[in-house]
Amino acid sequence: MGLDLAVLEHDAQEQAGGVIANGLAERAQVLLARSAADEHKAEAFDVAVRALRGNATALSSQANQETREVARAASAKVSQKSLAKLKKLQEEEHKAEAAAQDRREQAKQAMQRVRKAQASLRAS
C-alpha cells in the first residue's frame, strides 16, 4: 500500500500541476487577448489624435486666412471712405483756390481803379 500511496500522491501532484498550468495558461490567454485589445484601442486613439491635430491645424489655417480677408475688407472699406473724403476735400480746396484767384483778380482790378482815380484826382 505504501507504493500505491506514493504513486497516487505523485499522480495527484502531476494532476494538480496540470490544473495549475491549465489555469495559468488560460489566464495568460485572457491577459494576451486584453493586451491585444488594448493595443488596438491605442492604435485607434493614435489615429484619432492625428486626425484631431490635422483638423486643428486646418482650422487654425482657415481662421488665419479668414482673419486676413476680414482685415483686408475692413481696410478697403476704410480706404474707400477716406478716399471719398479726400476727393471731397480736394474739390473744396480747388473751389477755394479758384475763389481766391477770383478775389485776387477783383482786388487787382479794384487797385487799378483806385490808382486811376488817384491819378485823375492829381491831374485835376
pTM (two decimals):
0.44
pLDDT of residue 120: 85
Q: Give CA–CA dist 118/114, Å, rounded.
A: 6
pLDDT at 96: 94
Torsion of CA 79, 85, 90, 96, to 10 degrees: -170
User: What's the one-letter identity of residue 5?
Assistant: L
pLDDT of residue 5: 67
Enumerate the H helices of the chain as residue ranges. Answer: 2-123
Cell numbers that stand for 44 in this block = 485607434
Domain locations along the chain: 1-124
Averaged pLDDT, groups of 10, the chain, 124 residues long:
64 73 82 87 92 92 94 91 90 94 93 89 78
d(CA 91, CA 7): 123
Distance CA 88, CA 123 (A): 52
pLDDT, residue 119, reads 85
